[in-house]
Structure 1
């Protein structure tokens, strides 16, 4: 094994999770791989891609949620709008924790400051900065790595929270097989069938032919689950 630290590829863990979740998105793959390959020799490109990846992530979250996006919004505004759809301070069962929420809100304010700093440094030192002198010094690679890691932290909080809440609150855009328990319910109710000797799966057929009908039934399925869970909870004193 090569012991030279410089031989170890630079990787953004949370950004890679985003890439895996949207493996069909060539735009996300291009941005993540370009940032990673730019470290440490091209710090100006790293800074530029930090801002780009944050904006792409937020736009992805907003589109997943069916929200409209103003083309003039930049990273800080996109984060603010994305957070409106993310239930910070909730556990995996959707139960709110006031202390956790308070701490996360403080963390978000810090992330907003980080994002604003990335935007300012990108405008001054990014490879796409306007009007830079040809002989102006390059940004120190150490700062580029700090911003890349900070960007990964922002993506980690936003996108992981987004995916976690998606199971309880079905997105406006998602893939078939993201809700296997619902698919199993549909398939159990309607069973397999054939068209011209071709076997078809009921849940997949519904998803492919009428996504809105599939999503409406999924929302009702989740609501029924919540009501059943509430009804099953023991009452005080029982």
Structure 2
């Protein structure tokens, strides 16, 4: 997660400051103790942490350790950087906190409109890592349900036989989001892109989702595509709902 990566990176920088004669770093007992305790609280990285993080409890203790070990600042800096390389790589590979903020932000925006849409967003999030084809199907369902919700509330007739592109076209026309309703080239381009996204999410569901039978030899879709489909569907859902709200 981003939070863990930042804390480790900050502590590494603090140690480099101590090792290269920076007085502010050497005298920052409070900052050293706080960062060290926070990092040690993440039990999953315990084996990857440099040993001196675990047993040097103050800037002075670390200085007394590093000073005789390497005579030059360059050697000390290289040693610290190499010691943190594996744990930083691991922290960088974890899902970022800002991704959770993105997911939660979408949920907050759609929560005031319809509980069923929120439920489908939550299902898409739950499935994207463990059930990618299911997540892709839920992404399409999320946008479809959003379109139907808006059309129903605006009194616009639609048929159960309408596929996603048709539902989106009806919705876009009611919300003034159709490229043909605008003369500015940039708006036509962006709104045309939105149409392509919705059509693409629907096509991805048909190709990689779990709504159709598949050959046993066909591999499961990558979680990367599930992540893409969920993110696109969530973005389009909030865009549609906020556009709907703006005309009420």
**TM bucket by the smaller chain?**
0.5 to 0.7
1:46 and 2:135 equivalent? yes
**Map 1:66-215 → 2, pairs under 5 A:** 66-88=155-177, 99=184, 102-128=185-211, 130-166=212-248
Q: Deviations over 1:190-215 (max 9, x none)?
A: xxxxxxxxxxxxxxxxxxxxxxxxxx
Question: Contact (CA 8 Å) 2:165, 2:199: kept in 1 or not?
Answer: yes
Q: State how far apart, in whole Å, the 1-side matches of 2:104 and 2:188 are.
A: 24
Distance 1:85 1:159 in 2: 12
Alignment-derived partner of residue 18 in structure 1: 110
Larger Rg: 2
* Deviations 1:84-124 (CA, angstroms, capped at 9, x unpaired): 211349xxxxxx9953xx43332222122222222222112
Q: 1:84 to 1:15 in 2, by over 3 A?
A: farther
Residues 148 and 167 in structure 2, CA contact (< 8 A), matched pair in contact too: yes
Which secondary structure does the structure 2 equivalent of 1:84 belong to? helix
Contact kept? 1:43, 1:144, Cα under 8 Å: yes
- Number of residue-to-residue matches in the alignment: 154
Cα separation, 1, equivalents of 2:213 and 2:104 = 30
Structure 1 residues 104, 97: closer, same or farther in 2, change over 3 A? Answer: closer
Which blocks of at least 5 consecutive residues in structure 1 are unaligned?
90-95, 167-238
Counterpart Cα distance in 2 of 1:160 and 1:69: 21
Task: Report the TM-score, using the length of structure 1 for normalisation.
Answer: 0.57
RMSD over equivalenced CA pairs, Å: 2.6
TM-aligned CA distance change 1:15 to 1:44, over 3 Å: same
Structure 2: stretches of 5+ with no match in the other structure: 5-90
TM-score (norm 2): 0.55
Relative to structure 1, is the Cα distance of residues 120 and 98 closer, same or farther in structure 2, using a 3 angstrom cutoff?
Answer: closer
